[in-house]
Amino acid sequence: QIIKFSSNIGSIKVGEIIGPEYLYKTFRSFGFGEKTGIDCPGETSGVLSHYNRWSKIDAGAISFGQGVAVSALQLITAASAIANDGILMAPYIVQAITDQNGRLIKSSSPRKVRRVVSLETARAVKKMMGSVTTEGGTGMNAALEGYSVCGKTGTAQKIDEKGSYSNEKYIASFLGFIPAEDPEIAILVVIDEPQGNHFGSIVAAPAFKRIAHETVNYMNIPLTADKPFERLVDMRIGIEGKKSIRKVRNGEIKAVSGNGARG
Of 88-97, 116-125, 154-163, the least confident: 154-163
CATH number of the domain residue 75 falls in: 3.40.710.10
**pLDDT score of 258:** 40
Q: Is residue 20 part of a domain?
A: yes
Percent of the residues in the chain that have a pLDDT greater than 70, as a whole number: 85
Whether pTM > 0.85 for this model: the answer is no
Residue among 184, 228, 235, 229 at smallest CA distance from 209: 235
Q: Is residue 1 part of a domain?
A: no
Q: 137: Cβ–Cβ under 8 A, 6 or more apart, which residues?
A: 4, 5, 131
Q: Is residue 2 part of a domain?
A: no
One-letter identity of residue 21: E
Q: Is residue 133 part of a domain?
A: yes
Q: Which domain holds residue 46?
A: 8-257
Q: Are the CB atoms for 226 and 180 separated by under 8 Å?
A: no
**pLDDT score of 20:** 96
How far apart are the C-alpha atoms of 172 and 72, rounded to whole Å? Answer: 12
Q: Is residue 40 part of a domain?
A: yes
How far apart are the C-alpha atoms of 144 and 83, rounded to whole Å? Answer: 17
DSSP 3-state of 137? coil
Of 15-19, 92-96, 124-128, 235-239, the least confident: 235-239
Report the pLDDT averaged over residues 42-48.
94
Of 116-130, 202-216, 241-255, the least confident: 241-255
Whether residue 56 is predicted with pLDDT greater than 90 in this model: the reply is: yes
